[in-house]
């Protein structure tokens, strides 16, 4: 390929196969990106007998997974759930996912819930360690090597009334962040399966034939642009677009300047844009995960979150992402966490300023410039019911209810735009559960597949996001896409 | 063209120019869709000297505009604004638009505000009538032939503090819905300008050359599929996707089953899908306009809207679309409008059920199963301040403040999923203000333009939408796109 044909960052423009002078290499399955999705896809493709090559832009694999905590959302009765005494089922898991997501993908959800136990076992068979232990504290993720924890809204209203709650966050065994442990095991498994991985290989373009099918790609490697042909297909596993400022501005402008994007530097939407070059449709590009991690310490859950009207707006025992979304939607973004003396503690995440400390709720109300009487009325009502162990207003669990009555009273500023909020993109290519990329008309694009954050998976809304669905989706549907791409090679061969 | 190449509804798959046997016709500018955007684009293209052909799928023109009220959002000091004594300016108009829109397009907003007065004059010069009269009542749109009215949130908090308020809804002169009057005048102007319009012509596909440029289209006409070539370009003005159930389910699933879609039967997203066949990027496909038109009678504005927590959540003097969005986001969608005897009236839109009538607020609270004490506290606080003509909680204008204290008290059920909500899509192709359609990488696609709801225009969020921006955007940027497409023909000719 001549360098001149390749503009530096325009993956949404494809190359015609007639413009390819020669193929540098021909394989069965080409995988773009070597994070959790790419690794799982590669393992399955290779084990299905496909000659599988992964091209990774960075100098090493891992993607965002290797930077993450290593939580996998799994349920339906995994080994760890059983060992910890939880009686989960695929039906309850599916009920929870569907109830908590305003824009579900019914087929992906069903497969994910039904296949969850087998997927857990598969991860274990690849060497991924999970400890048979429950972490009971309310945390963002266990800091130690515990596995199972409540990583979503399962016990929060209204979900606890819709689906039998069970903890489904499975953290890979390891102190602190364990995403690197997960990826290391997947990497080893991939190598064992015969997968070839080439790092420092940036994919620039897809190559399309006359009918619009994807037949290969152009990658920049060893200082030159090389054409790679794929018999089975190209599988995009190149992450989301949290690190692409222009795309954030275009699709998620309300977050810009107010959140810290979470991701790796190459989460620049290249997967999505490559897919769009072959007419793949992007869906839910306006969706995101957002969090305002004011806990731990878990004692802060006893506090109440109020907006600029001095009103509560969400049960404080909800998942931090669901709280983050609700908080970010309050008028002018104003949100305070109100606590009293016995439950006071500093959020372990830095950046939550104390907006006021006063000897009375009334004083706090004035110090925060809330409408006179508003916070007082809210606290009175909350306390009245909390004394009885009830919260008819927002249905916080009784275990987190106690009246706020011991001075001093404090307010942490949790306002959107001031407090620490983190976010990443959830939108991506529209795919079938098999990974086949679809056009806006629902036509599957020949030879093109996607998995992980390059497509829109089971985590697809700020309201419904729970920890572990990113890696859960990436590994689960990465595998499926790898198998589909490998199978297509056989069909094409015949 | 052979019929077999054309699947019945797959516009997102293009046709290669090499597959076109012969052109049925070659013109300068081909316009897909004859609503307000298409008509304005056609007028400008024809007046610039371009041989302009409009293909309309229906048996007559008009699109959604001809079914609408005929409100155009214009400001900056139009003839009508001046005649009615309002001192508006482009700066204040721009301030308002930017402040009220979470995802603004700065360049489109600026051009729209700066060019608004000239656009008003242009519409008048095309024969569109506007009466120099102000409609003072709070209405969805004037029922009589009045022109100017408050069609947005200009006087609502916080916007009134950011931009000097002015009414900018300009209803075309005519009793009742006047969109048909607007379109009739544009249609006449287009014919005068030499535009040719062919109805009963469904555009099936775009035709692309080897480099991906749009060079024509395939339309079904007179019982056969015909290829039309465009020297200057193809301009997509084919409406939104409010009537495409699959697309609503995919992009706007939270609305499905809960709203009545607004549009014409051919608002099926064909414009967007045709654009995507040439790699045009769809943006803000998750955005929509939603309304819960509980007023008029305007006296209901004195009431308070409360959610299932018995809390107010938005100033009741806000635009009905802003209220609709906020209402639809309340927990479980529960919303009631609380009124007392003096302000009681039946919403003129049918379907708002009376949920309860009681002799006390306390009784109403119980009848609505609101948490005990919640509504009472809200009404007490509201009344306390309303007596003083203040609303420090949500900043409703003093003119709409009076205590709710005269029995009986009533609650209208405004809940999302129960009360009448209407909605339509706001997302569409990403375009420059000139109408050039862009890929996700910001590359302008040669020969492809879009305007009206087929692209994402100045109305682009549920929160920021105001009446008149749909037709305002369609006519304003339709004109610009028509000029751009016509100019390109000249360039290509040389």
Q: Which of A86, A74, A71, A111 is nearest to A166 (CA)?
A: A86
pLDDT at A6: 59
Closest CA to B94 of B69, B124, B117: B117
Q: What is the pLDDT, as a whole number, of residue B1? A: 43
pLDDT tens, residue order, chain A (494 aa): 444 455 668 999 999 999 999 999 999 999 999 999 999 999 999 999 999 999 999 999 999 999 999 999 999 999 999 999 999 999 999 999 999 999 999 999 999 999 999 999 999 999 999 999 999 999 999 999 999 999 999 999 999 999 999 999 999 999 999 999 999 999 999 999 999 999 999 999 999 999 999 999 999 999 999 999 999 999 999 999 999 999 999 999 999 999 999 999 999 999 999 999 999 999 999 999 999 999 999 999 999 999 999 999 999 999 999 999 999 999 999 999 999 999 999 999 999 999 999 999 999 999 999 999 999 999 999 999 999 999 999 999 999 999 999 999 999 999 999 999 999 999 999 999 999 999 999 999 999 999 999 999 999 999 999 999 999 999 999 999 999 999 998 665 43
Closest by Cβ to B374, choosing from A254, A381, A443 = A381
User: Cβ separation of A287 and B286 shorter than 8 Å?
Assistant: yes
Q: With a CB-CB cutoff of 8 Å, which residues 15-54 of chain A face chain B? A: 16, 18
Q: What is the dihedral of CA B10, B14, B17, B20, to 10 degrees?
A: 0
Calculate mean pLDDT across residues B24-44: 98
C-alpha A284/C-alpha A272 separation (Å) is 12
Residues of A in Cβ contact (< 8 Å) with B282: 281-282, 440
pLDDT at site A9: 83
pLDDT of residue A436: 98
Percent of chain B having pLDDT more than 70?
A: 97
Longest dimension (CA), chain A: 80
Chain B contact probe: residue of A440, A444, A446 with most B CBs at under 10 A: A440
Distance from CA of A277 to the nearest CA of B (A): 6
Q: Is A360 on the interface with B (CB under 8 A)?
A: no
pLDDT (tens digit per residue) in B439-475: 999 999 999 999 999 999 999 999 999 999 999 999 9
Give Cα separations from B253 to B103, B243, B249, B288 (angstroms). 21, 13, 4, 11
Report the pLDDT value the prediction gives residue B315, as an integer from 0 to 100. 98
DSSP notation for B359-411 = SSHHHHHHHTTPPTTHHHHHHHHHHHHHTTT--TTT---GGG-----SS-EEE
String of DSSP letters for A390-441: --TTT---GGG-----SS-EEEEE--TTTS--EEEE--EE-B-TT-EEE-TT
Q: Which of A14, A273, A373 sits opposite B384 (nearest CB)?
A: A373
- H or E segment and range at residue A379: helix A374-386
Q: What is the pLDDT of residues B47-58, one digit of tens each?
A: 999 999 999 999
Kindly state the tokens that stand for A185: 């095991």
Cβ <8 Å between B384 and A371: no
Helical segments of A235-330, H only: 245-251, 270-277, 320-328
B335, B341, B346, B351: CA torsion to nearest 10: 30
Cα–Cα distance for residue pair A402/A108, rounded to 1 Å: 40
> What is the CATH class of A293-413?
alpha beta
* Residue A266, CA distances (Å) to A200, A224, A259, A293 in order: 12, 20, 18, 25
A382: closest chain B residue by CA: B374
Helix, strand, or coil here: B95? helix
Coil, strand or helix at B477: helix
* Across B465-490, average pLDDT: 96
Name the band, by pLDDT with cuts 50, 70 and 90, for residue B489.
Answer: confident
CB-based contact A164:A91 (threshold 8 Å): no
| Minimal Cβ distance to B210: which of A16, A103, A377 | A16
Using the Cβ of A281 and the Cβ atoms of chain B, whether some distance falls under 8 Å is answered with yes
How many Cβ atoms sit within 10 Å of the Cβ of residue B257? 9
- Tell which A residues from 386 to 405 touch B, by Cβ distance under 8 Å: 392-394
pLDDT band at B380 (very low <50, low <70, confident <90, very high): very high
Output the pLDDT for position A492: 56
Hey, of B104, B210, B441, B455, which one would you mutate to test binding to chain A, going by the most A CBs within 10 A of its CB? B441
Residues in chain A, total: 494
Chain B: residue whose CA lies nearest to A102: B254
Pairwise CA distance, residues A449 & A142, whole Å: 34
CA B4 to chain centre: 37
CB–CB of A104 and B158 under 8 A? Answer: no
Q: Kindly state whether A11 is in contact with chain B, defined as any CB-CB distance less than 8 angstroms.
A: yes
Residue partners of B335: CB distance under 8 A and separation at least 6 = B292, B305, B306, B307, B308, B327, B413, B414, B415, B416, B419
Measured distance CA(A473)–CA(A464) in Å, rounded: 14
Reported as half-sphere exposure (CB side, CA atoms, 13 A), residue A63 has a value of 34
Q: Which residue has tokens 């068979």?
A: A125
Tokens 């289209």, residue? B217
ipTM: 0.95
- Among A247, A254, A314, beta carbon nearest to B102: A254
What is the model's pLDDT at position B335?
98
Which CATH number applies to A3-62+180-289+426-493: 3.40.50.1820, 1.10.1240.10, 2.160.10.10, 3.50.50.60? 3.50.50.60
Question: β-strands A288-291, A422-425: how paired?
Answer: antiparallel
Name the residue among A102, A158, A251 with its Cβ closest to that of B254.
A102
Residue A65 pLDDT: 97
Reported CATH class of domain B3-66+180-289+422-493:
alpha beta
Contact A440 B247 (CB under 8 A): yes
pLDDT of residue A489: 84
**DSSP secondary structure code for residue B199 in this structure:** -
Closest CA to A151 of A292, A320, A7, A1: A320
Task: List the beta bridge partners of residue A288.
Answer: A425
Chain B positions touching A279 (Cβ under 8 A) are 12-13, 276-277, 279
pLDDT digits (tens, 9 = 90+) for B294-351: 999 999 999 999 999 999 999 999 999 999 999 999 999 999 999 999 999 999 999 9
Are B360 and B337 contacting, i.e. CB atoms less than 8 angstroms apart? Answer: no
The domain limits of chain B are: 3-66+180-289+422-493, 71-176, 293-413
Chain B residue at shortest CA distance from A443: B10
Residue B364 pLDDT greater than 70, yes or no: yes
């Amino acid at each position: 390929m001549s360098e001149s044909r390749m503009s530096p960052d325009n993956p949404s423009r494809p190359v015609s196969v007639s413009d390819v002078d020669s193929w540098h290499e021909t394989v069965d399955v080409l995988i773009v990106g070597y994070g959790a999705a790419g690794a799982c896809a590669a393992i399955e493709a290779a084990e299905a007998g496909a000659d599988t090559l992964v091209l990774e832009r960075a100098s090493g694999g891992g993607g965002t997974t290797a930077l993450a905590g290593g939580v996998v959302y799994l349920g339906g009765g995994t080994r760890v759930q059983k060992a910890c005494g939880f009686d989960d089922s695929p039906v309850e898991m599916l009920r929870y996912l569907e109830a908590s997501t305003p824009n579900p993908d019914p087929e992906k959800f069903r497969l994910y819930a039904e296949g969850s136990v087998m997927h857990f076992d598969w991860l274990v068979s690849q060497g991924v360690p999970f400890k048979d232990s429950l972490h009971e504290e309310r945390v963002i993720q266990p800091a130690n090597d515990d596995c199972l924890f409540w990583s979503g809204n399962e016990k929060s209203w209204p979900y606890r009334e819709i689906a039998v709650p069970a903890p489904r966050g499975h953290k890979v065994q390891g102190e602190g962040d364990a995403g690197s442990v997960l990826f290391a095991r997947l990497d080893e498994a991939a190598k064992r399966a015969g997968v070839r991985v080439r790092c420092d290989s940036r994919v620039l373009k897809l190559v399309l034939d006359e009918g619009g099918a994807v037949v290969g790609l152009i990658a920049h490697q060893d200082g030159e642009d090389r054409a790679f042909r794929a018999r089975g297909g190209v599988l995009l596993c190149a992450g989301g677009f949290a690190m692409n400022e222009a795309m954030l501005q275009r699709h998620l402008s309300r977050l810009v300047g107010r959140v810290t994007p979470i991701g790796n530097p190459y989460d620049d939407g290249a997967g999505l844009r490559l897919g769009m070059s072959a007419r793949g449709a992007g869906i839910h590009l306006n969706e995101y995960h957002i969090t305002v991690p004011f806990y731990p310490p878990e004692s802060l859950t006893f506090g109440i979150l109020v907006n600029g009207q001095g009103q509560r707006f969400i049960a404080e025992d909800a998942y931090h992402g669901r709280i983050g979304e609700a908080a970010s939607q309050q008028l002018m973004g104003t949100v305070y966490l109100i606590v009293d003396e016995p439950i006071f503690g500093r959020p372990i995440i830095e950046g939550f300023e104390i907006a006021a400390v006063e000897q009375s709720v009334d004083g706090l109300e004035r110090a925060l410039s809330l409408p006179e009487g508003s916070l007082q009325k809210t606290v009175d009502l909350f306390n009245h019911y909390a004394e009885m162990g009830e919260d008819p207003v927002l249905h916080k669990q009784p275990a987190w209810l106690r009246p706020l009555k011991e001075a001093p009273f404090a307010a942490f500023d949790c306002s959107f735009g001031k407090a620490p909020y983190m976010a990443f993109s959830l939108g991506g290519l529209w795919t079938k559960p098999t990974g086949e990329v679809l056009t806006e008309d629902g036509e599957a694009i020949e030879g093109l597949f996607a998995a992980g954050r390059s497509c829109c998976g089971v985590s697809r809304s700020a309201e419904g996001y729970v920890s572990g669905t990113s890696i859960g989706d990436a590994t689960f549907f990465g595998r499926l896409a790898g198998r589909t791409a490998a199978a297509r090679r056989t069909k094409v061969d015949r």
